[in-house]
Structure 1
């Protein structure tokens, strides 16, 4: 049994971080989501740099875990670490292998609770997208790959909002040229162009809704902290909006 009261009252140590990190892969949604995740998130700013890197290494290794909840909760804390300044290229590589390839895209499971692979992965995509050591074109391409991956799951738990938000923040990076800010959308347009009459595939529905969120954020600006605070403008706002409109029109021509 984990004594959560003692853990929550104490400063983090190597031993306590190991215990709570192990609980982050628990199938018990209370232990994982209500206990382990908030505590690790609170501890991240208090950890020494080497402890952050060690925890990040452990979490990046969970993208290959056989348990879905272990895979889908790792990016939540890894995002906290990256946003706190910790970064290794191998974390991005591990995430890049997992995110487009994850097949269990359920938001909620009656026994396991929240899984939310797309939304939790979007939080890490955002962290990488804002990190100065990461070429922003890479998270943008990963976002496109996640959108286009075949799936039977129509997202129903605001995954489109979370992924659109992550992409929008990545697009606020000043070093992106206009061409690179829109190039990642070309692959989506190519896939949409191969569509045939009939029911819309789930991946296409998910992609359309995500791009509509992104269009809105490109137009209005994006707040990094969701509520309140500064509004960041996309440097290539008009070009991004124009290209999104063109891509949307391939699959849904009636708006324009």
Structure 2
């Protein structure tokens, strides 16, 4: 009986150990699977971060370049990225811009890639440049504009009185450029238009307000004749002549 009991006891121990291993084995496998999944997730996150970084670099290079950027130029900046990877990232950017109807697009041109404005918005770009383009003004236009800026409101006759020539064409040109505007009529015979400067005038010359204009005294040609003071002329003898005169006087004194 004692032997049987001992055998049973040993069998029970073996059975318990087997059951224990059967229970722990799946748990161990589950833990290993979890660890592998976490590691894989970390690698994916790291890979996504690297991809976002590469995408940002390529996007920046295309944005700052005025000419098409080649694959070799992009690879030279990134060093560790292949041409195929660069193409894949550019494709992602193109799809991203297209999906969100971006104002920018990337096209392949002249052996490289270039970031350009989206043709869909070309109308708005034309309108923007139509109002913002800074055209260089002619000398007559600048003269007339200066007279109006300092003397406003003025009539065309006032401008012509100072300039001495007909100013119809110049004034019409400045009106078309929205640098001038009509601000009323003068209460005289014929009631001619009065002109003044506009907000575009301030923007064109980079002024905060008309108070920032230079002093009128710096431009005597814009002042009426009675306000222009003639500069006194100082009649000074040349230095050499003065020295000769002093020398003659010294000799006279010595002879006396």
Q: TM-score interval w.r.t. the shorter chain? A: under 0.3
More strand by share: 2
Task: Give the TM-score, by structure 2 length.
Answer: 0.17
TM-score, structure 1 length as denominator?
0.17
